[in-house]
Amino acid sequence: MMRRYWWVNHKQTVWQEVEGGYLWSPKTEANGARSQFYENMREATPGDSVLSFANAKISFVGVVSDYAISAPKPDEFGTTGTNWSAIGWLLPVTWQELPLSVRPKSILSEIAALLPAKYSPLKPSNGNGNQKAYLAEISEALFDVISSHSKFNGLQAPAHRSSASDFIETIESEVQKTIENDVLLSDTEKDQIIKARKGQGNFRDRLFEVESCCRITGIENPSLLIASHIKPWRSCMSAVERLDRFNGLLLAPHVDRLFDRGFITFSDDGAVIVSPHLPLEDLVRLGLEESCKKHSGSFRPEQKSYLAYHRSEVFRN
């Protein structure tokens, strides 16, 4: 896949994002309107380059280190694990500081013609940041001009590449703490909800009443099946959703990973939908190219609302 170039206009949280190894945006504008700058969070692909623009200058360059996931605003991780009104896209990015900071305004004549005509991060007229912009796609030519002014001479091997798994683990631990402290839940309920996080306990047992095998590989061996949530455990709004046997599928481990990361989903009638973001090479290596063309069997009405959530919030189309 072709490497792409991005430019982020950080809001107030530039330090949290750079130190934390990520970018975070809402999913839509406050009024619910779609924003290309937020949609771009899901377009960015591991290996893509990102310029970090904050306080009128570019001081960091980053490499996208995993695909975006649904996540609450990270500066709220510690205080509210279940405030899902604040849910957005979290994109893992490994940052490094540039040798020299670059003020785009001071080289505006050089870069104005290279700014994108649509969805530009800067106003070409005066070089001020576009207030609406967050993650904007830029050309390699523009990236190279900024790189050259910043004396950037290639990426260092980072000490740590932040991955989606790292963030999911952190988020789920916080949600779990919230559940453990919930005075409205009994100890038995807490135990069942926490076991459901790993696809265990009552959730897994009852899922076998609804599903009998992996819908893609046909695996029936319980030792090789993962009890996967359709609407992710971390995104559920209630104990009922976390324990609902209709909010689950039995999947082979590699199918579970693809489903969990939004590389495959299902239509209501049971067709498998493969994301254009999953390299065909990977699908072939996983031995799933043919089985993803087959029909997976129909779904029950109770499963369909969870599938609708998966298609709109997890799947990468």
Report the amino acid identity of residue 237: M
Coil vs helix vs strand at 46:
coil
DSSP state of 181: T
Q: Would you tell me which residues interact with its own copies (CB under 8 A)?
A: 46, 65-67, 159-161, 163-166, 169, 195, 198-202, 204-205, 214, 217-219, 221-224, 252-258, 261, 279, 282, 285-288, 291
> Any idea which residue has 């239509």 for tokens?
267
Whichever of 145 and 226 has its CB closer to its own copies, that residue is: 226
Report the amino acid identity of residue 275: S
Q: How far is the CB of 248 from its own copies (least distance, A)?
A: 15
- Helices first, then strands: H and E counts in the chain: 11, 11
Whichever of 180 and 282 has its CB closer to its own copies, that residue is: 282
Coil vs helix vs strand at 168:
helix
Which contiguous run of DSSP H or E holds residue 167?
A: helix 164-180
Lookup: tokens for 293:
């063309």
3-state helix, strand, coil in the chain (%, to 5): 40, 20, 40
Q: How far is the CB of 282 from its own copies (least distance, A)?
A: 5
Whichever of 56 and 224 has its CB closer to its own copies, that residue is: 224
Q: How far is the CB of 203 from its own copies (least distance, A)?
A: 11
Q: How far is the CB of 226 from its own copies (least distance, A)?
A: 8
Whichever of 118 and 160 has its CB closer to its own copies, that residue is: 160
Whichever of 130 and 173 has its CB closer to its own copies, that residue is: 173
Q: How far is the CB of 263 from its own copies (least distance, A)?
A: 8
